[in-house]
């Protein structure tokens, strides 16, 4: 903030508060019984009539209780003047923001955080323009965070209200509990270098980055909570999350496997097996999947994580896992690159291609890493390899 405007705002605020206090209490307590409306001395009326109600002979106000005769008089003009001065002090304080960002600079930071956490749409990358559809409110919050204008309370609110810290309460015994930090894509450039989190537990994976699940460490067998220390720049907040060990995966997340949900997953998934060498000796093929929940009406509380099997004559030839939690860039995507199994399919031979299938199985254990969802798809379906085979990278959809 500009020190000149800050000093001016502080001076105006002090003066305005004093004026408002003078208006509230400056009339003092009346020496005797007085009309609470006009201040007329009602001593004579009070002597002539011991019990209420009393009527003020000056303004006609009816006083029904004894305490009303001794009420502090308010000076409404001074109160209004003080309130206007406080508003002016705020406007003086935010004048530099107003000059930088326009009218949105007047909006308090906590209001910006509330707005974007409720109304900001998913930031899906537009490859044509190389940008994200971002509102002026989100852009201003991003600017203030990057310029270090957020107070500690603002940064704590941002972490809490925007679900920046994501983890799960229930974990199967013997598993490795995880957590992650996730922010919208329009905030990620600033957040990537300034957001950090840790539990400080033994065995914690420390070398993690924004958007990545990390193992939070060795949680005690009788733990009821886990403490996370989340940092934004020079601010570090302490956040306690509930925790409990449970028996098995179905005790940690509800498994769902109905024909209707499986059909929705099939419709929501866009999957391909691609020829993808890029002159690499480490891989020549890629399996990739994208999940579009809106297209299929898939419920938001159902996590989708996949075990993908390439099978030849119903014999397992290759297997991999794909995780599809929410992404800061919109629709979740995951992929795996690998060397084709030997013997591999012959894409130029239709008879050989008929021998190969892709079996897609819901993996609830992997779905635990989709921390905010309470259900996991556990069904399966199978498609011919020829249906999802893309012989060149240009065939990506």
Q: Which residue has the tokens 């509102």?
A: 135
Residues 158-185 have a mean pLDDT of 92
Total length of the chain: 397
Q: Would you state the pLDDT for residue 379? A: 96
**pLDDT tier for residue 396 given thresholds of 50, 70 and 90:** very low
The structure tokens listed for 301 are 């509380």
Residues 128-147 have a mean pLDDT of 79
Q: Taking the C-alpha atoms of 59, 60, 64 and 67 in order, what is their torsion angle to the nearest 10 degrees?
A: 10
**Which of 260-269, 279-288, 290-299 is predicted with the least confidence, judged by mean pLDDT?**
279-288
pTM: 0.76
**Which of 85-94, 172-181, 227-236, 240-249 is predicted with the least confidence, judged by mean pLDDT?**
85-94
CATH 2.60.40 domain extents, the chain? 253-395
Instruction: Tell me the average pLDDT of the chain.
Output: 85
Pairing of strands 269-275, 254-256: unpaired
Find, among 216, 210, 204, 207, the residue nearest to 231 by Cα. 210
Asked if pLDDT for residue 46 goes beyond 90, the answer is no
Strand, coil or helix: 363 = coil
* DSSP assigned state of 127: T
**pLDDT tier for residue 395 given thresholds of 50, 70 and 90:** very low
**pLDDT tier for residue 45 given thresholds of 50, 70 and 90:** confident
Asked if pLDDT for residue 28 goes beyond 60, the answer is no
In this predicted model, what pLDDT tens digit does every residue of 315-374 receive, in sequence order?
A: 999 999 999 998 877 788 999 999 988 889 998 999 999 999 999 999 999 999 999 999
From the options 2.60.120, 2.60.40, 1.10.3470, 3.30.470, give the CATH code of 253-395.
2.60.40
Asked if pLDDT for residue 127 goes beyond 60, the answer is no
SS3 content of the chain, % helix, strand, coil (to 5): 35, 25, 40
**pLDDT tier for residue 257 given thresholds of 50, 70 and 90:** very high
d(CA 170, CA 368): 9
d(CA 119, CA 107): 15
Q: How far is CA 228 from CA 12, 164, 234, 237, in A?
A: 40, 12, 16, 8
Residues 259-275 have a mean pLDDT of 94
* DSSP output for 366-384: HHTTSTT-SEEE--EEEEE
């Amino acid at each position: 903030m500009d020190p000149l405007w800050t000093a001016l705002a502080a001076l105006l605020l002090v003066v305005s508060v004093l004026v408002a206090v003078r208006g509230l209490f400056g009339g003092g307590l009346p020496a005797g019984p007085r009309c609470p409306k006009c201040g007329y001395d009602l001593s004579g009326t009070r002597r002539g009539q011991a019990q209420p109600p009393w009527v003020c002979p000056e303004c006609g106000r009816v006083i029904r209780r004894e305490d009303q005769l001794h009420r502090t008089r308010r000076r409404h003009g001074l109160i209004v003047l003080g309130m206007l001065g406080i508003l002016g002090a705020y406007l003086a304080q935010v004048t530099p923001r107003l000059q930088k960002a326009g009218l949105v600079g007047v909006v308090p930071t906590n209001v910006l955080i509330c707005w974007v956490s409720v109304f900001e749409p998913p930031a899906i990358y537009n490859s044509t323009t190389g940008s994200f559809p971002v509102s002026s409110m989100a852009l201003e919050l991003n600017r203030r965070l990057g310029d270090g204008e957020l107070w500690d309370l603002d940064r704590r609110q941002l972490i809490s209200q925007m679900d920046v810290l994501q983890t799960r309460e229930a974990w199967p015994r013997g598993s490795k509990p995880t957590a992650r930090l996730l922010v919208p894509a329009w905030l990620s450039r600033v957040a990537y270098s300034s957001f950090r989190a840790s539990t400080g537990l033994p065995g914690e994976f420390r070398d993690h980055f924004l958007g990545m699940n990390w193992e939070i460490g060795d949680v005690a067998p009788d733990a009821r909570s886990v403490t996370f220390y989340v940092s934004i720049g020079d601010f570090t907040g302490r956040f306690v999350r509930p925790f409990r060990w449970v028996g098995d995966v179905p005790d940690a997340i509800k498994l769902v496997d109905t024909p209707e949900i499986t059909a929705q997953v099939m419709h929501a998934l866009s999957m391909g097996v691609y020829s993808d060498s890029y002159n690499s000796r480490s891989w020549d093929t890629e399996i990739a999947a994208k999940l579009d929940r809106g297209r299929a009406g898939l419920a938001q509380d159902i996590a989708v994580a996949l075990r993908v099997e390439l099978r030849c004559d119903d014999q397992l030839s290759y297997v991999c896992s794909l995780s599809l939690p929410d992404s800061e860039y919109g629709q979740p995507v995951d992929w795996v690159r690998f060397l084709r199994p030997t013997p591999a399919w012959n894409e130029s031979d239709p008879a050989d291609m008929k021998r190969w299938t892709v079996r897609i199985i819901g993996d609830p254990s992997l779905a635990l890493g989709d921390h905010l969802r309470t259900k996991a798809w556990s069904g399966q379906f199978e498609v011919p390899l020829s249906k999802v085979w893309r012989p060149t990278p240009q065939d990506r959809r």
